[in-house]
Structure 1
């Protein structure tokens, strides 16, 4: 008897049970390691960027990239949408796009935000990641 077991898309294991014995033998077929990235593409080919906003900082800068999101310090208070406006301006300048090409998908009132870049920009995920890494290194 063969059964396919998946565990969060990380390991795929086939268990073979011998008819003659009750011994189970595990055979790893392949290990699919998909590192979660804060920069993805949605069904409409828009690029989505997960942001961990840190408002009230001394200057605008990108602090780090992790699996949870991209840490961005914003030089604006978190009131009346000032930090959100500053975040859009800063990310547009980092990515070299217009402010109107960057919008909120969700998280307008949260520190965990999801920004959307329009699909007609012809940017790839790798280009966005490279521009963000360049900004991190310049600080």
Structure 2
């Protein structure tokens, strides 16, 4: 009596494996894709909502007077420069070169110190509100009005 095992050909086995792997990978890829896109969309919406949260801030530009007697400065930081300076005051942001690398918050510390010196206020009156890991930051200054902040920043643009 001979035992005959039901052997499948190699091509038939490969074909079945490829069908299973294609169906497995395509079903997992499609189920994960919408979730990732949704996260990006939610993130984009939240960022857009954060930028347009204050209608007063959008109309006034880079320097905004808040309701709690503080002034918010929207900054475009340029770390790694040779020296600290204000490169320009645009409609959306104030460009500031920072003579510190963007490592371990060094540039943020130097930015706050530099702005306190330029504005003539204590370091405790200047704080980083948003953007600790981004080039686009929001710095809040207390004890000054919007016009005096603009005047002092403007006077430093030509001196940089």
Q: TM over 0.5: same fold?
A: yes
Query: Given the alignment, which residue of 109, 114, 117 partners 1:93?
Result: 117
CA contact (8 A) 2:70 2:145 kept: no
Return the offset for 1:35. 5.1
Return the offset for 1:68. 1.9
CA contact (8 A) 2:100 2:107 kept: yes
Hey, which bits of structure 1, 4+ residues long, moved more than 3 A?
none
Aligned length: 103
1:103-134, Cα deviation, whole Å (9 max, x unpaired): 0111111100000012xx1x221111010111
Give the match's secondary structure for 2:83: coil
CA contact (8 A) 2:125 2:141 kept: yes
TM-score normalised by the chain length of structure 1? 0.71
1:46-61 aligned within 5 A: 46-61=70-85
Take 2:132 and 2:59, find their aligned partners in 1: how far apart are those partners? 26
TM-score normalised by the chain length of structure 2? 0.62
Match of 1:132 in 2: 153
Take 1:49 and 1:128, find their aligned partners in 2: how far apart are those partners? 9
Give the match's secondary structure for 1:79: coil
Rg larger in 1 or in 2? 2
1:1-139 aligned within 5 A: 36-118=60-142, 121=143, 123-139=144-160
Structure number with higher helix proportion: 2
Take 2:59 and 2:66, find their aligned partners in 1: how far apart are those partners? 17
Structure number with higher strand proportion: 1
Q: Which 5+ residue runs of structure 1 have no aligned equivalent?
A: 1-33
Take 2:157 and 2:91, find their aligned partners in 1: how far apart are those partners? 16
